[in-house]
Amino acid sequence: MNQTHKPHPTPKQYVQIAVILGILTAIEVVLYYTESTVGVFTDPLLMILAVSKFVIVVGWFMHLRFENSLVNRFFAGGMILALFLFAIVMLERASAIFFFS
Amino acid sequence: MGDHGYPHEPTGVETRKLGMWVFLSTEILFFGTLITTYLIFKGRSFDGIKLEEVYDIPFTSVSSFVLLMSSLTMVLAHHAIEKSDQERTSIWLLATALLGAVFLAGQIYEFTEFYHKGFTLTVNIYGSTFYVLTGFHGAHVFIGVILLIILWGVGQRQNGLSLDGGMNLEFIALYWHFVDIVWIVLFTVVYLI
Amino acid sequence: MSEDIKEKRFLTIFKRPSSTEGIWSWITTVDHKKIGIMYGYAAFFFLLLGGLEALILRIQLAKPDNDFLSAAEYNAMFTMHGTTMVFLVIMPLSAAFFNYLLPLQIGARDVAFPRLNALSYWLWIFGGLFLYSTFIFGSAGAPQGGYLAEEIGWLGNAPNGGWFGYQPNASFKYSPGTAMDYWALGLQILGVSSLVSAFNFITTILNMRAKGMRLMRMPVFTWMTFAVAFLLAFSLPIIAIALFLVTFDRQFGTTFFLTEGGGDPVLWQHLFWLFGHPEVYILILPAFGMVSEILPTFSKKPLFGYAAIVFAGFGIAFIGFGVWAHHMFASAISPVAQAGFGLSTMVIAVPTGVKIFNWLGTIWGGKLNLKTPMLFALGFIAMFVIGGLSGVTHSIVPADTQQTDTYYIVAHFHYVLFGGAMFGIFAGLYYWFPKVWGKMYNEKLGQLHFWLMMIGFNLTFGPMHWLGLKGQIRRTWVYAEETNLGFWNMVVTIGVFVIAVSIIIFMINWIYSKRKGPEAPMDPWDARTIEWTIPSPTPVWNFSTPPEIENLDDFWHRKYDEDEEGRPVRKDMANQLLIDLESDGLNPKEHIELPNPSYFPFILASGLPFLGYAIIYRSLALAGLGLLLLLIGGFGWALEPIEEEEIGDVEDG
């Protein structure tokens, strides 16, 4: 059952990570309220924040950063495939509206 | 399987853990389809009530924070079992389940409010896509809470989780974190953007 | 780690079942071989049903303006024929092979998750039975204001919206009644079955290989199983959501795919074909794998370009995710998409072509042994090439706009799915028959089956090419006398009857040979891969000692050396090797542990059809029952003890 035991973060580090996540969430909420000032940057910033939180949870809490690369590739593969396929579907529907309406 | 002569896991990843990662990679497609459906319709204009008119961002933010923290307690439970600290494992497992339940309660409260304000499943496409997307996520959280409680229960019965139970915890932890990251995306895409 | 925590006694409420004989041994089995056999027989039963549906369709179309079937009945027949053949015949027949062979080809005892494997089977059979129960319980109403508001006979009370369920035709407005709900929910259950299998096979191939069985030493069939598992894993979630959305539309008043509510019918097509196209590669890749094993064995030559075939297989799988909208060229998708998908569809012909050339290269210069498996394998190549060529013509968008929804398309996919996948499966059924049953099939009957099927198949689907180009439309229950299509339609119908006769011959051969056929030796074909190194029929423990692999085609290299010109030279000790392998295989010396049987996969699986009925009939009681079964199944599974069945004495074998 014991694989090569990769280094685990300590509980203290986990709490620090959680604090960072909390701060990122707080920034997201602030951005929502200051949309009029931040303007067109709001959405991209929100997406960056969401992606950062995503990566932090996957990398540290789900331990993917310390795992075997095989498992990393599965997850990355699924993500890339999903992004690719759904981007095409959304683009197609958007362009169809453009061409046919 | 306990067979001698058979190499143990040539990939170096424990078999059940590998299975769980494969499963989670496919769940990405599952939620991806739901999110895509949501986004395709979001851009279009139609009559009727919109989510922006009924939601309560502060409330949902707190909910989101609760779910995030449940990931922390989950990972602390995992850490505890690695250190064979059965008592702590038990506490953190229960804490995670509790936080998950609080999140669900928040969702139920929210949705009830939305319904009262007229934002229902069938009022328009916006309602349909919203409820199906967040509903599926909620169902996943619910299943996760059940799994956590069962695991906690097994630990109580046996006076601790065995070695094998330790792998089960890791297994469920991965599922739980996944449910959390889906919400991270959902909160941004559905509520904030 | 932690101190030893023993599992408490009262958790072991259910003792693991232990029967080895009789029906309970089949219901509780987790043995991949038994599961494979169950898949095979059940799938064959559905083949007969699907074939009957085809026969009925063809009787209707044998002459113009026929009235053997009403339009409503015709719709139900072609929908069920397609749905049955895809989900209840080819997929499970392939599953039968994956289940039986995969552990044997990699030298394992069983798959990674044996109970999950059993779950896949029971989910599948319950899903299939649920789908077919529509004939008993279901109803297909006539759409309001539609001209088909005639009496819908018994045959018409089945899903009638096509196997692809296009919206809004298959929506509640135009397909009232419960039939299309049976379709959506039935497919949902079947999807879960395959998805679960996919995880199992991926994990098995990665983690359960015997010593020395490196990835690039695995048989091609194993590689194709791997590719199929990825296709299943990543495409099924998409259709699962699509089916949920359409069920919500039909049952709960949403309008995801209905324009009245702002929905988008083309979205359904996208989601369906995002799954549907990888699905067709799921259907063909197993046959590719089987043929890649059979050709080398019967040509006494190694597979030409093993690495290329493996990579081409994955190339097809990968690109297969990027061509789905070629099913939608005539469906109001943007011209940009049409161009893009036309291109990607042309590209996918490349790795397919690579495989075909490699197969030809395998046969070239070989010493061909034209036994039945080889005949079907060769027939496969020929028929698949024809189907592939017509397929490439569809990739040209303007041409496809004429071809689409005509019999030209029907010709294409039957050439690749019947002439391709089914022929490949028949090749596999004959090839591995001796290994599974320990008996040899009758070669003369096998040859008769092949030739009759070849003739019947081409009589049936050949004329469809020009019928389509002359304008015969798909999915339409009559064609007028004036179209002058009657002659070739009659030929097609006669062809179907010839196919039916050939299948009867196959069945006679199978049943007779299994009982009274001559005993087959361990290695009747002088084969190359390690499943042939164990006794026939396969012992329940598979390998008595875990094999150690040193080469690709390991078994071959243990029997044969190569001379200076690379020709195989049989080793002197080869015969003795076979004798030793057989006797060792029957007499395991070590203690062997096999995974224990279990009731719970069966119980868990049985819950889903009840949930399906609950949704259709809005019954809380049925929902409760379904959930209860799921909970009992789930809890029992999680809590049952992991005792392992031990093979001490050989006599039990």
Give me the number of domains chain B comprises.
1
Query: Is there a contact between C423 and C380 (Cβ–Cβ < 8 Å)?
Result: yes
C335-363 helix and C265-299 helix, angle to the nearest 10 degrees: 10
Least confident segment among A22-26, C483-487, C564-568: C564-568
Q: Which residues in chain C have Cβ-Cβ distances shorter than 8 Å to B10? A: 206-207, 209
**Judging by beta carbons within 10 Å of its beta carbon (0-12, 13-18, 19+), is residue B116 exposed, middle or buried?**
exposed
Angle at C411 between CA C410 and CA C415, to 5 degrees: 115
CA distance A79 to B26: 9
Classify B66 in phi/psi space as left (phi over 0), alpha (psi -120 to 50) or beta: alpha
Q: Which residue has the higher pLDDT, B124 or C649?
A: B124
Give me the torsion for CA of C8, C12, C18, C23, rounded to 10°: -160
Nearest to B74 by CA among B148, B154, B15, B143: B148
- Which of C63, C173, C300, C474 is catalytic? The answer is C474
How distant is the Cα of B158 from the closest Cα of chain A, in angstroms? 20
Is A91 in a helix, a strand, or coil? helix
In a domain, B50, yes or no: no
**Given this model, what pLDDT does residue C651 score?**
37
In a domain, B10, yes or no: no
What separation, in Å, do the N-terminal and C-terminal C-alpha atoms of chain A show? 60
Q: Which residue has the higher pLDDT, C515 or B163?
A: C515
CA distance B97 to B79: 16
Tens-digit pLDDT profile for residues A2-43: 444 556 788 899 999 999 999 999 999 999 888 888 888 888
Residue C145 has pLDDT above 80, yes or no: no
Here the CATH number for the domain that contains residue B60 is: 1.20.120.80
User: Are the beta carbons of A53 and B64 separated by less than 8 Å?
Assistant: no
User: Are the beta carbons of C211 and B5 separated by less than 8 Å?
Assistant: yes
- Does residue A89 sit at the C interface (CB-CB below 8 Å)? yes
Residue with tokens 């109001």: C332
Nearest to C284 by CA among C181, C364, C356, C215: C356
Six token digits for residue C28: 């509780």
Q: How confident is the model at residue C636 (pLDDT cuts 50, 70, 90)?
A: confident
| Eight-state DSSP code of residue B188 | I
Helix, strand, coil in percent for chain C, rounding step 5 = 65, 5, 30
In a domain, B158, yes or no: yes
Name the pairing type of β-strands C644-647 and C592-595: antiparallel
Nearest CA in chain C to A77: C234
In a domain, B81, yes or no: yes
Nearest to C609 by CA among C633, C632, C626: C626
Nearest CA in chain B to A34: B192
Helix, strand, coil in percent for chain A, rounding step 5 = 85, 0, 15
Q: Which residues in chain C have Cβ-Cβ distances shorter than 8 Å to A93? A: 264, 266-267, 270
Q: How confident is the model at residue C19 (pLDDT cuts 50, 70, 90)?
A: low
- Which of C53, C110, C249, C553 is catalytic? The answer is C110
In a domain, B24, yes or no: yes
Q: Is the Cα torsion angle C215, C221, C226, C231 positive or negative in sign?
A: positive
Question: How is C572-630 classified by DSSP, letter by letter?
Answer: TTHHHHHHHHHHHHHS--S-EEEEPP-SHHHHHHHHHHHHHHHHHHT-HHHHHHHHHHH
Six token digits for residue C212: 């020395």
- HSE-up of C310 (CA within 13 Å, CB side)? 14
Tens-digit pLDDT profile for residues C76-89: 999 999 999 999 99
What separation, in Å, do the N-terminal and C-terminal C-alpha atoms of chain C show? 38
Which of A84, A85, A98, A100 has the highest number of chain C CBs within 10 A, making it the mutation to test binding with C?
A: A85
Q: Is cis: bond before C537, omega within 30 of 0?
A: yes
Q: Number of A:C CB contacts under 8 A? A: 37
Q: Is the Cα torsion angle B185, B186, B188, B189 positive or negative in sign?
A: positive
CA distance A93 to B114: 29
- pTM (2 d.p.): 0.93
Q: Which residues in chain A have Cβ-Cβ distances shorter than 8 Å to C267? A: 89, 93
Mean pLDDT of C329-347: 93
Mean pLDDT of C137-149: 70
How distant is the Cα of C266 from the closest Cα of chain A, in angstroms? 8
Chains that touch C (3 or more CB pairs under 8 A): A, B
Range of the domain at B143: 15-42+55-192
In a domain, B8, yes or no: no
- Percent of chain C with pLDDT strictly greater than 70: 94
